[in-house]
């Protein structure tokens, strides 16, 4: 049996207690990486970790706190010895009319979606540079690629992380560190459970997606795992839409296709 693509690698995944983050932790584990899982709730993390086979590490953290990223980096490096792969998946989201958006909502989204990833990257750069290898994958969104109503603040945070991804790729490339974003479309997770109960929402999403289905968390996790591996060794600075074609369809046609 050949070596697994991420054997002898370590990974840190934020927002790993559910949805895309949990699926990513499982996918990286299957590919051979030892994974540190991060989220606010230790019990939820432990449930995901119980399904992994490579001595996973559970690190509870609240990335809304200004000092959380530095503390998290220190804990991860202490537990794993190194971090070869960083998946910035933790996110705060809200679907609100701009007139209903206040400073607290904007601050939380920027803190979790932009500040925490940048500070976590900054804290891990020295260790990655020393090993001259690293793959950083930031979770963006189709909302950062196209206009989506009632998501201006969320879209702003995701547009910001895409811009940061491009800048970081230029800065860190000479050190052997790759930086990319993954932009999911509509993913069938608990975040959409309420909306799915509204008449017509399921069909509307399918009509906006050329592949005519919702994404599953594994659809996103598999692309993240690819970007983490040497199969993507010459890819950096990209935002890869994993949305079943939604962004292109909306850009071309401005509505259902």
Q: What is the CATH number of the domain that holds 24?
A: 3.40.50.720
Mean predicted confidence (pLDDT) in 23-36: 98
Q: What is the pLDDT of residue 241?
A: 95
Residues 6 or more apart from 51 whose CB is under 8 A from it?
26
Q: Is the CB of residue 89 less than 8 Å from the CB of residue 112?
A: no
d(CA 131, CA 82): 9
Residue 113 DSSP label? I
Kindly state whether residue 127 falls inside one of the protein's structural domains. yes
Q: Residue 13: helix, strand or coil by DSSP?
A: strand
Residue 3 lies in a domain: no
Active site members: 154
Report if residue 22 sits inside a domain: yes
Q: Which residue range(s) make up the domain with 67?
A: 10-189+216-244
pTM of the model: 0.93
What is the per-residue pLDDT for 250?
63
Q: Do the domain assignments include residue 5?
A: no
pLDDT of residue 257: 38
229 assigned to some structural domain: yes
CA dihedral 229, 230, 236, 239 (to 10 degrees): -40
Give domain status of residue 207, yes or no. Answer: no
The total number of structural domains in the chain stands at: 1
Question: What would the mean pLDDT of 118-126 be, rounded to a whole number?
Answer: 98
What mean pLDDT do residues 93-100 have? 79
State yes or no: pLDDT of 96 exceeds 80: no
Q: Is residue 251 domain-resident?
A: no
Inside any domain, residue 92: yes
pLDDT at site 202: 80
The CA-CA-CA angle for residues 12, 156, 20, to 5°, reads: 35
**pLDDT score of 151 more than 50:** yes
Give 180-235 pLDDT, tens digit per residue.
999 998 888 877 667 677 777 788 778 888 888 888 999 999 999 999 999 999 99
Instruction: Please state the rounded mean pLDDT for residues 121-127.
Output: 97
């Amino acid at each position: 049996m050949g070596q697994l693509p991420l054997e002898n690698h370590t990974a840190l995944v934020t927002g790993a207690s559910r949805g895309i983050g949990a699926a990513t932790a499982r996918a990286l584990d299957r590919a051979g990486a030892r994974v540190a899982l991060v989220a606010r709730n230790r019990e939820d993390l432990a449930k995901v970790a119980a399904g992994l086979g490579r001595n996973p590490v559970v690190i509870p953290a609240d990335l809304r706190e200004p000092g959380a990223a530095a503390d998290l980096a220190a804990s991860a490096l202490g537990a794993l010895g190194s971090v070869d792969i960083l998946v910035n998946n933790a996110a705060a989201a809200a679907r609100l009319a701009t007139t209903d958006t206040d400073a607290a909502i904007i601050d939380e989204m920027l803190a979790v979606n932009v500040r925490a990833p940048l500070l976590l990257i900054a804290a891990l750069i020295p260790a990655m540079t020393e090993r001259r290898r690293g793959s950083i994958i930031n979770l963006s969104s189709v909302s950062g690629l196209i206009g989506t109503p009632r998501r201006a603040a969320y879209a702003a945070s995701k547009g910001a992380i895409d811009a940061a991804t491009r800048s970081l790729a230029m800065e860190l490339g000479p050190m052997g560190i790759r930086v990319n974003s993954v932009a999911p479309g509509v993913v069938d997770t608990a975040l959409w459970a309420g909306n799915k109960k509204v008449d017509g929402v399921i069909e509307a999403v399918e009509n906006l997606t050329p592949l005519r289905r919702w994404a599953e968390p594994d659809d996103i996790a598999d692309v993240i795992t690819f970007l983490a591996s040497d199969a993507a060794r010459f890819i950096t600075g990209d935002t890869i839409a994993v949305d079943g074609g939604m962004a292109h369809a909306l850009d071309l046609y401005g509505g259902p296709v």
